[in-house]
Structure 1
Amino acid sequence: MFPYILKRLMGLIPTLLIVAVMVFLFVHLLPGDPARLVAGPEADSQTVELIRQDLGLDKPMHEQFVNYFSKALHGDFGTSLRTKRPVSMEIAERFWPTFWLTVSSMVWAVLFGLVIGIVSAVWRNEWPDRLGMTLAVSGISFPSFALGMLLMELFSVKLGWLPTIGADSWRHYILPSLALGAAVAAVMARFTRSSFVEILQEDFVRTARAKGLSETIVVLKHCLRNSLIPVVTMMGLQFGFLLGGSIVVEKVFNWPGMGRLLIDAVEMRDYPVIQAEILLFSLEFIFINLVVDVLYAVINPSIRYK
């Protein structure tokens, strides 16, 4: 197991290098002049040129990339063009609100998704299955931003139960996490049902039932563990998507997270912030995939990486 983990960690280097090159080229192809945006619409061309030199945007592209990547290796991602603060500080302040929003969304989505998927598989083609899959299809089909606005209108405007803006208390997390996790819960329900249906038809399940074990023990002890490997894979991918895909929900709820920071950075062509955030999202995906692979051996001891 250790050599496999070490090999995967070493694979981070070329992957992050390719991502860094692609992100660098992408942000520099965005329309708009960062120097003009920083200087303001009323600044003359001489002032804009001075700002461009100060930001290092007057140098050739390859020199800008070498300078950026060499500093990034030492943990220096530059200074935000918009706030004049270190990019690492900007991201550090916004990371935890996004992280805890993602965790809260993932927790309830996984729990509900597993329950609905298991119930639908056990009572396949009966009314619990039809009800559960109807809810799953509705969760996938309904856009997160539309669900967010609907929840705000109902629970904040009409009923006045929950706040809509800010991240000061646990009550602020309820509506954004519901809007963000609805699609994940739907995907988990459908995926769990599919995995469970296959496991329920295996020979060891029939053997367990023939021994006189109760259906609850058969489902929770024998079926659940054997069906978790594909489910864990989906959980890892969905967690990564939530971390990087909370932009729309954060915009709707004015959430002080990384998604909102990325939107502001794109609007202002804040190259250092855009590059650092996308690199961080890429690193998160790679790390989550590594954790998922390691969990395979924990769930099923028969799996060993050589």
Structure 2
Amino acid sequence: MLNFIAKRLLGLLPTLFIVAVLVFFFVHMLPGDPARLAAGAEADEATVALVRADLGLDKPLPQQLVGFFGKVVHFDFGMSTRSKRPVSTEIAERFMPTLWLTLASMVWAVIFGMTIGIVSAVWRNRWPDRLGMTLAVSGISFPAFALGMLLMEIFSVKLGWLPIVDDGTWKGYVLPSITLGAAVAAVMARFTRASFVEVLGEDFVRTARAKGVHEPMVIVKHCLRNAMIPVVTMMGLQFGFLLGGSIVVEKVFNWPGLGRLLVDAVEMRDYPVIQAEVLLFSLEFIVINLIVDVLYAIINPTIRFK
């Protein structure tokens, strides 16, 4: 297991290198002049040229690429062209709000999604199954921005129970986390149902029932662990998507996280921030996939990595 983890960690380097090269050329293909945006609409060409030289955008592209990697190996992602602050500081300030929002969304999505999936599998083709799958399809189909605005209209504007934007308390997490986790809960319910339906038909389940084991024990003790492998895989992928893909929700709720920072960076063509955030999201996905692989061995001891 340790050798497997070490090899996967070493595999980070070429993956991140490829991602860094791709994102570098991608951001330089974006339409718009970062120097003009940084200098302002009223600036003359001489001022824009000075800003371009200050940002290092007047150099040939290969030279900019070499300079970019020279800084990255020293964990220096440069200065934000928008705020004139270190990129690492910008990201550090926005990381925790996004992480806490993602964790809150994932916790309730896993609880409700797995519960609906298990109930639907146990009572499949009956009304609990139909109701659960109807909710799941609705959660997947309803756009996040529309759900967020609907929740704000009901619980903030009409009822006044919850704040529209973050107020520093737990109430500020309720609406964004529900909006962000709705689709995850729906996908979780469908994956859990499919996995449980397959496991419920296995021979060891019929044997346990034939021995007189109570149905709740059959579900919890015999089925849950064996059905968790595909569910855990999906959980890891969804957590990565939430951590790096909460852009719409953060924009709707004016959440001070990485998603909104990325939107602002793209609008202002803030190359250093865009590059650093994409690298961070790539690293998050790789680490999460590694954690999922390790969880396989914990859930099912018969799985071993060589």
The TM tier, using the shorter chain, reads over 0.9
Matches for 1:84-233 after TM superposition, within 5 Å = 84-166=84-166, 168-233=168-233
CA distance in 1, matches of 2:89, 2:48: 26
Q: Which position in structure 1 is the counterpart of 2:298? A: 298
Question: How many percent identity over aligned positions?
Answer: 77
Q: Please give the secondary structure, in 2, of the residue aligned with 1:298.
A: helix
Q: Please give the secondary structure, in 2, of the residue aligned with 1:213.
A: coil
CA distance in 2, matches of 1:241, 1:44: 42
Question: C-alpha displacement at 1:169, in angstroms?
Answer: 1.1
Gaps in structure 1 of 5+ consecutive residues: none
Q: Please give the secondary structure, in 2, of the residue aligned with 1:165.
A: coil
CA distance in 2, matches of 1:157, 1:56: 47
Q: Which position in structure 1 is the counterpart of 2:70? A: 70
CA distance in 2, matches of 1:37, 1:126: 59
Kept in 2: contact 1:97–1:167 (CA 8 A): no
Kept in 2: contact 1:79–1:272 (CA 8 A): yes
Q: Please give the secondary structure, in 1, of the residue aligned with 2:283.
A: helix
Question: C-alpha displacement at 1:69, in angstroms?
Answer: 1.2
- Residues 268-297 of structure 1, C-alpha deviations (whole Å, 9 max, x = no match): 000000000000000000000000000000
CA distance in 1, matches of 2:114, 2:8: 29
Matches for 1:45-56 after TM superposition, within 5 Å = 45-56=45-56
Question: C-alpha displacement at 1:244, in angstroms?
Answer: 1.1
Question: C-alpha displacement at 1:151, in angstroms?
Answer: 0.2
Q: Which position in structure 2 is the counterpart of 1:242? A: 242
Question: C-alpha displacement at 1:166, in angstroms?
Answer: 2.1
Question: C-alpha displacement at 1:186, in angstroms?
Answer: 0.2
Letter of the 1:50 counterpart: L
Kept in 2: contact 1:57–1:64 (CA 8 A): yes
TM-score (norm 1): 0.99
TM-score (norm 2): 0.99
Q: Which position in structure 1 is the counterpart of 2:12? A: 12
- Residues 42-69 of structure 1, C-alpha deviations (whole Å, 9 max, x = no match): 1111111111111100111111111111
CA distance in 1, matches of 2:287, 2:73: 18
Gaps in structure 2 of 5+ consecutive residues: none
- Residues 203-240 of structure 1, C-alpha deviations (whole Å, 9 max, x = no match): 00001001100000000010000000100000000000
Q: How large is the RMSD of aligned CA atoms in angstroms?
A: 0.6
CA distance in 1, matches of 2:182, 2:207: 37
Corresponding position: 1:288 with 2:280: no
Letter of the 1:96 counterpart: M
- Residues 12-31 of structure 1, C-alpha deviations (whole Å, 9 max, x = no match): 01100000000000000000
